[in-house]
Structure 1
Amino acid sequence: MTLDAIFEATIQVLVADGPHRLTTTRVAERAGVSVGTIYQYFPHKQALFYAVNERYLDVLAEKVEAYCRTQQGASIEQMVDGLVTTYWSAKAERPEVTRALYRSVAELDNEQLIEAFARRTDAATAAMLSSASDADFADLPTVNLTLLATIFGTVRNVFERDLSASEISAVLRQLALMCVAYLEAVKITSPQRKCCIGALPKGRFVGSLPIA
């Protein structure tokens, strides 16, 4: 429970004061613990930033993974619509926290965090897309990377703008339409699909990654 209190206090200070004014003393006061207790877990402010971002990305990856597991065998349109909604909803659950953490990453060497998050989301969405009822892809890893970069990048850009609720809703609808159109454009056509599926060992992608 102490760690939970420290993480929540860190987020509250980040939201209220920004990353540059965050100190372990401010966090300790907000969490109701001593500075010494903070140092038992985190030797400096950057370590605290890192841990908070790590927890945030872990929860975000879990939500994407859970959604993808429910969509095995669905159509690409259903998959994409839900993926956009799931990712946005996770980010928008506490929008002030998402914005504060976007600002805090400037304080971090966060390459390992991003790589770990990307491995999990890449695997989850690739497994989902490989099971689509209405599409196969000749280069699934590239298709998957393009899809996620488009969704994740657009969502971040929306957060960095001061948009109204109606504008956000409109952009997300357009994002889903764009992603579905892309997948339709790059999927294997019927003759290719029949040929490629017959040539592949059972339980493999058309691309190079094994199905999870």
Structure 2
Amino acid sequence: MILQFRNSHMNRRLPALLQPRKSPRQARSAATIEAIHTATIQVLLADGVGKLTTTRVAERAGVSVGTMYQYYPHKQALLFAIVERQLETIMDTMMAATERLQGADLAILAEGLATAWLDAKTADIVSSRAIYAIAAEFDLGEHMALAMSRMIEVICGLIATAPDTNLADAESAAFMVAVLLGGSVRVVMEAGAAEGDLARLRRELPRACAAYLAAAN
């Protein structure tokens, strides 16, 4: 099930206009893509999405505009790639967590999922804020719906491995855990992600997920 989630997420068909021209196949190309992505975040943080251009990103990354266009034909494709990369990083983190949590009690499972989600969303809080801003540039409804459905599927399967589970409707329970994780972090991030609020979230979100599963069990 976990591999099915990963493959489905990574192989989504992108809108034609947002697809990169080519994918990196060598270490040097991968390093170029990394430099472009890092430069994109830096330009976003310095000047905002409105002033970001592929030319400015190329200059910041130390590559030619021609090299930039080999991968990203325009600004929208570049920004979409940044959002996609963030989604993939988060999902990879959650998949690793579900591997570790197989067979754990519900309370440990809830704490582990919440902690993994927070770790993924706050690993680079500055970049995450920038990415939230550019995500609004695109209609990500279909992508987020797919990610949500797969997350529910994986959490549901994980709940089934808990030795103390007596849930009559594991899918609904998984849905609520996914909503608690995604919704709570989104509210705090969109409000500016103050350090105090993030500290409270890290303390209270695992409790909220564990309390919900205990009440539903």
After superposition, the Cα gap between the structure-2 partners of 1:42 and 1:112, relative to the gap in structure 1 and judged at 3 Å, is farther
Aligned equivalents of 1:71, 1:129: Cα separation in 2: 10
SS in structure 1 at match of 2:103? coil
Aligned equivalents of 1:62, 1:163: Cα separation in 2: 23
Aligned equivalents of 1:41, 1:14: Cα separation in 2: 19
Of 33, 51, 69 in structure 2, the residue corresponding to residue 39 of structure 1 is 69
Of 164, 186, 190 in structure 2, the residue corresponding to residue 134 of structure 1 is 164
**Would the aligned equivalents of 1:61 and 1:120 in 2 still touch at CA under 8 Å?**
no
**Would the aligned equivalents of 2:153 and 2:171 in 1 still touch at CA under 8 Å?**
no
Quick check: which has more Rg, 1 or 2? Answer: 1
Of 23, 45, 69 in structure 1, the residue corresponding to residue 53 of structure 2 is 23
Q: How does 1:129-208 map to 2 (within 5 A)?
A: 129-162=159-192, 164-187=194-217
Aligned equivalents of 2:68, 2:193: Cα separation in 1: 37
Give, in angstroms, the shift of residue 172 of structure 1: 2.9
Q: Does 1:118 align with 2:133?
A: no
Aligned equivalents of 1:18, 1:180: Cα separation in 2: 39
Give, in angstroms, the shift of residue 110 of structure 1: 2.0
How high is the sequence identity, in percent, across the aligned residues? 39
Runs of 4 or more, structure 1, over 4 Å off, are none
Aligned to 1:102: 132
Letter of the 1:53 counterpart? V
Between 67-76 and 125-134, the greater mean CA deviation after superposition? 125-134
**Would the aligned equivalents of 1:69 and 1:124 in 2 still touch at CA under 8 Å?**
no
**Would the aligned equivalents of 2:102 and 2:158 in 1 still touch at CA under 8 Å?**
yes
Aligned to 1:65: 95
Give, in angstroms, the shift of residue 112 of structure 1: 3.8
**Would the aligned equivalents of 1:74 and 1:132 in 2 still touch at CA under 8 Å?**
yes
Aligned equivalents of 1:185, 1:167: Cα separation in 2: 26
After superposition, the Cα gap between the structure-2 partners of 1:116 and 1:177, relative to the gap in structure 1 and judged at 3 Å, is same
Deviations 1:68-96 (A, max 9, x none): 11111111111111211111111111101
Q: TM-score, normalised by structure 2?
A: 0.79
Aligned equivalents of 1:161, 1:23: Cα separation in 2: 27
Letter of the 1:118 counterpart? M
Aligned equivalents of 1:170, 1:106: Cα separation in 2: 26
Paired residues in the alignment total 187
Aligned equivalents of 1:163, 1:34: Cα separation in 2: 35
Structure 1 unaligned blocks of 5 or more = 188-212
Structure 2 unaligned blocks of 5 or more = 1-30
